[in-house]
Amino acid sequence: MDVPDVHYARSGDVAIAYQIVGAGPHDVVLVPTYGNLLLFWQQPRFVEFFTRISSFARLILLDKRGTGLSDRPREFATLETRMDDVRAVMDAVGSERALLIGSQDGSQVTAVFAATYPERTSALVLLNPAARYVSQPDYPWGVSESEWRQLVASVRDKWGQKEFLESFMRSTDPSLSEDSSFREWWVANLRQTWSPAAAAVFYRMMGEADIRGVLPAIRVPVLVLCRADSVGAARDVADRIGHARLLEFPGTGMFIGLGIELADAVERFLDGLVEEREHETVLSTVVFTDIVGSTTLAARLGDAQWRVLLERHHALVRAQLARSRGHEVDTTGDGFFLTFDGPARGIRAATSIRDAVRELGVEIRAGLHTGECEVVSEKVAGIAVHIGQRVQASAAAGEVVVSQTVKDLVAGSGIEFEERGEHELKGVPGTWRLYAVVDG
């Protein structure tokens, strides 16, 4: 097969490299862990997989921002920005809906994408997925935090060195490490994926990300594929989704050596899909704001001046909202109920709103939560909305407070937090760990 031409989609100011293979009735988008589009075609194992997939689908390949042939901006990509990149490539190729295949950290990107944009996702295939990569008392899979820190330090100091990359390969796919020609290709591929500093930033961000709170919000059909040594974390992902089908392959490591078997599993999954009814839920970041001490302030100003203040307040909020791709759901007196398709956008909008309205001599408080929302007549409802309201109620004047789920999803964004401890949220079961955004 000839190497497909490389094209570029514009995602904001960043160019994302992509290729199109085949022209089948289905669209399949592959989001890899790392790699270089052109180098993939020098490896027969990948060519075999691409050829098989393209026999029954239009396969869309991409290099994530900061890797391969895509632009390498100074800021590293969060889950949110990488979702934007997937959507930009789909828009560029005219794909309204696609089956998404995500490998390892790419499975986190595609999982969050499927929950956020179910109307753009026909189905989801996750390869060796994990909700997080660092273990916790309530999450036994992965490595300890100290081991992950050691990995990041080793990557920063040794990435690109042949001996280190070969050792890295032996730990990820011991069977393929015996193939000398594949080892040579592997080393070249990783060297042309990241620089040492970029690789270290990627692994640091990967160790901070946690999508456990997102997985129950996925409503599209899901197939989880794993090798025997990854079944624990993969089954955890499937169980959290609830309706996902889990298929285990023998052996260890990645799926590189199972191109035909993997493609066959994807085709069988595609063939078994039925037309889904319109999705009534979506993953969304909800933001609630209100003016602190509004009753006292209104009494002091009087009705006429209070109305003028509210009009100016509302205008400033809506101006910031327009810059942030947010949606105004409702306005109640001096407060706003807003939604965003990404938590980092929601945080930045909330902080910019807080700063903007200070010119009026008022302080707001804001609360954010990301969760599954019911969509009813273009309105959103559900437990996630109630949680967002309760998170806001815990905030002090001038504070932007977020739930643990929001914090976990903005790993790599540069946004910093100060822990606010465990809270009971009125009417919401359990306790919730909350965080206040630290001003940069």
Query: Which pLDDT value is given to residue 277?
Result: 54
pLDDT digits (tens, 9 = 90+) for 117-130: 999 999 999 999 99
Decide if 7-132+209-271 and 281-438 have a common fold.
Answer: no
Alpha helices in 192-244 (DSSP H): 196-208, 231-241
176: pLDDT confidence band, cut at 50, 70 and 90? confident
Query: Which pLDDT value is given to residue 250?
Result: 84
Beta-carbon contacts of residue 138 (< 8 Å; ≥ 6 apart): none
Query: Which pLDDT value is given to residue 279?
Result: 60
Query: Which pLDDT value is given to residue 440?
Result: 57
Percent over 90 (pLDDT), the chain? 73
What CATH class has 281-438? alpha beta
The token duo for 165 is 């990359």
Q: What is the pTM of this model?
A: 0.90
State whether residue 91 is helix, strand or coil.
Answer: helix
Average pLDDT estimate for 361-390: 90
pLDDT digits (tens, 9 = 90+) for 233-272: 999 999 999 999 999 988 777 777 678 888 999 999 998 8
Query: Which pLDDT value is given to residue 257?
Result: 67
Query: Which pLDDT value is given to residue 182?
Result: 87
Average pLDDT estimate for 165-184: 83
Q: Where are the domains of the chain?
A: 7-132+209-271, 160-191, 281-438
Q: Quick one: which of 405, 431, 435 has its CA closest to 420?
A: 435
Average pLDDT estimate for 217-223: 95
Beta-carbon contacts of residue 43 (< 8 Å; ≥ 6 apart): 182, 185, 189
The mean pLDDT of the chain is 91
What CATH number does the domain located at 7-132+209-271 have? 3.40.50.1820
Q: Which of 55-59, 116-120, 363-367, 375-379 has the lowest mean pLDDT?
A: 375-379
pLDDT digits (tens, 9 = 90+) for 264-307: 999 999 988 876 555 678 899 999 999 999 999 999 999 999 99
pLDDT digits (tens, 9 = 90+) for 12-22: 999 999 999 99
371: pLDDT confidence band, cut at 50, 70 and 90? very high
Question: 10 Å Cβ neighbour count for 351?
Answer: 18
